[in-house]
Amino acid sequence: MSLNAINSQTGDLPFDVTPYSVTIGGDVSGIDLRQPLSDEQVEGLRAALLDRKVLFFRDQDITTEQHLDFARNFGELEVHPFAPHKDGYPEVLAIHHNIDRPGQENGWHSDVTWRQEPSLGSILRCLECPPIGGDTLFSDSYAAYDNLPEAVREKVEGKYALHDFEGFRMRLRAKGVGEEKIAEFNETYPNPEHPVIRTHPETGRKGIYVNAAFTKHIIGMDQGESDALLEVLYHQANMPEYQCRFRWAKNSIAFWDNRACQHYAASDYWPHDRIVERVTVIGDVPYYREDGPVTNMDESPFRGRIKYQHSNPGPNLFKA
């Protein structure tokens, strides 16, 4: 089943994929990530990822080396310059929240859009999860774009926005990192300008590519107009119809396409521990192309207010 695939082959895969929601998310079964993947499995997973934007795997009791081996099937791995790494494994982010370090990723975002070449995808595995809570939500950026009011599309098509790692800069200062070192980071990671609407390099689909975590403003607009438009775009990720929600368990894995979705880590489990590790696959420079497939609204599964506001956005659309 798919409503977003371009030449989808998910019906002929060497494993099973069960859709998690209408357009996003898929539960994968029939693969053991402790074993090296065949070329057929790798290509099948890539096709499934392009179709479902995020894939979920259960009961995968793998080692760190196997985690890395799995990720390398899809590209080179990045080393995050600001986040804590697992000892001896610079490509592995060690994310541990507990009574002293509450979760703080509960905002919609796509990973590392402050890079010139942001992430292709992220692969997160759960080592320890709280007894309840700590879910991760994923939002389909294609569906968010396809159902934008026409008045918004006209304003943002072909525009670019500035991205910045400001949140990490603030944390560095809070840890006592000096301005000279921060200036080095600023030079190494200059603020990129990415398209507001990104064309996916493999599917040709368009998706919203701004997020409240890293986007600062739309180039060529005054701050007020930019802020108002960005609020509309950010709001699209909040629509439940475009989302799926994943409940973690030990040895669960999520593999998501940062080019096609955003995610939100619910921070509702304090004071319990939540321990996860993330490996990130390097992507390429985002671009925008005017043409490309778009969901026909007459065939879209989304109805009610979503369909109505597509052509009748109302007088309060651009209020910040």
pLDDT, tens digit, for every residue of 99-125?
999 888 889 999 999 999 999 999 999
Residue 304 lies in a domain: yes
Residue 320 lies in a domain: no
What integer pLDDT is reported at residue 6 of this predicted model?
36
Write the single-letter amino acid at 273: D
Residue 5 lies in a domain: no
Distance of CA 194 to the CA centre of its chain: 15
Residue 316 lies in a domain: no
- Count other C-beta atoms under 10 Å from residue 288's C-beta: 17
Query: What is the pLDDT of the chain when averaged over all its residues?
Result: 91
**Residue-number span of the structural domain to which 124 is assigned:** 10-311
119 strand-pairing partners? 282
Could you tell me the CATH number of the domain that includes residue 211?
A: 3.60.130.10
Is the pLDDT score of 7 beyond 60?
no
Domain count, the chain: 1
Residue 2 lies in a domain: no
- Count other C-beta atoms under 10 Å from residue 103's C-beta: 18
Residue 317 lies in a domain: no
240-265 pLDDT per residue, tens: 999 999 999 999 999 999 999 999 99
Q: For 1-30, what is the mean pLDDT?
A: 75
268-300 pLDDT per residue, tens: 999 999 999 999 999 999 999 998 887 776 778
64-84 pLDDT per residue, tens: 999 999 999 999 999 999 989
Residue 3 lies in a domain: no
What integer pLDDT is reported at residue 153 of this predicted model?
92
Nearest to 217 by CA among 201, 204, 230, 233: 230
193 strand-pairing partners? 162
Active site residues: 109, 111, 263, 278
